[in-house]
């Protein structure tokens, strides 16, 4: 019989492990990157420039903040919709940190508008970024996770996957698909000791949300039991918990972090 090569045991704890966060320059992605850095991980994050937003400058600020914490960090532009770019980014992360232990699929966009007004390109852009982009990253990293018999994946969904408002058909569909991907990937990767979960935030105090009119933000607060918006750190800490050793028996789940929004409190 051919000799079977024993797999190296991955040590417990966060220290020295590597986290890859997509869309890590701003918002929830930035908070997740900083949380992994605080826990002693190497951090790799990617980003893309978006019209009207200084994403590259914010990415540099995030990278600088991580480095000041003593974190080994790698950041670069990568369009998750392009499998070739994803493969190139993952290879660069491997070159610097040897492997990846945690994948956070956070990159996402929204093109809001009534479904009969959304162009095909508007729809395609959201689905390709939020759903196909997450699959591209997961499919690229999966062979690493399977080879080392260890990995944690957290997909960032949204309360709108199950509680959509008006004008979010493409976004809600992409996030509902992401939750389906979460469950299916958990089934396929579970035998390789890989956990795949999702978090579904409600309203989070990010740059994009704060661009909305004050009355909209006030309504968002009032619609939750706790009467407040989530901070990005509130979501990041759930992400890190799902990657922890304590969450080793949780997989295929969507953890709702919405301040009680889904309780239909008035």
Residues marked active site are found at 171
- 43, 66 Cβ separation under 8 angstroms: yes
- Joined together, the tokens standing for residue 212 give 């909305």
Coil/strand/helix, residue 44: strand
**Pairwise CA distance, residues 184 & 186, whole Å:** 5
Which residue in 233, 202, 196, 205 sits closest to 39, CA to CA? 233
**Pairwise CA distance, residues 134 & 74, whole Å:** 19
User: In 10 A of CB 236, how many CB atoms?
Assistant: 25
**Pairwise CA distance, residues 242 & 161, whole Å:** 20
Q: How many CA atoms lie within 13 A of 12 on its CB side?
A: 4
Give the largest Cα separation in the chain, rounded: 70
**Pairwise CA distance, residues 230 & 220, whole Å:** 10
Query: How far is C-alpha 153 from the chain's CA centre?
Result: 9
**Pairwise CA distance, residues 167 & 88, whole Å:** 35
Q: How is residue 230 annotated by DSSP?
A: B
């Amino acid at each position: 019989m051919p000799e079977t090569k024993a797999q190296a045991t991955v040590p417990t704890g966060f220290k020295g492990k590597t986290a890859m966060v997509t869309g890590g320059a701003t918002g929830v992605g930035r908070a997740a990157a900083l949380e992994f850095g605080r826990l002693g991980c190497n951090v790799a994050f990617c980003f893309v420039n978006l019209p009207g937003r200084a994403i590259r400058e914010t990415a540099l600020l995030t990278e600088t903040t991580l480095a000041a914490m003593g974190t080994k960090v790698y950041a670069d532009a990568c369009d998750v919709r392009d499998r070739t770019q994803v493969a190139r980014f993952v290879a660069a992360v491997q070159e610097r940190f040897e492997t990846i232990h945690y994948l956070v699929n956070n990159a996402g966009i929204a093109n809001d508008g009534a479904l009969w007004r959304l162009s095909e390109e508007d729809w395609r852009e959201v689905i390709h970024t939020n759903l196909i982009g997450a699959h591209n990253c997961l499919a690229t990293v999966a062979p690493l996770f399977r080879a080392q018999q260890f990995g944690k994946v957290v997909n960032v969904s949204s309360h709108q996957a199950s509680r959509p408002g008006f004008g979010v058909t493409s976004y809600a569909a992409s996030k509902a698909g992401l939750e389906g991907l979460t469950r299916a990937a958990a089934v396929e990767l579970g035998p390789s000791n890989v956990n795949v979960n999702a978090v579904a935030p409600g309203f989070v105090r990010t740059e994009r949300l704060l661009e909305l009119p004050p009355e909209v933000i006030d309504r968002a607060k009032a619609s939750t039991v706790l009467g407040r918006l989530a901070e990005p750190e509130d979501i990041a800490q759930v992400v890190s918990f799902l990657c922890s050793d304590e969450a080793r028996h949780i997989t295929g789940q969507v953890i709702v972090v919405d301040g009680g929004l889904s309780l239909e409190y008035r």
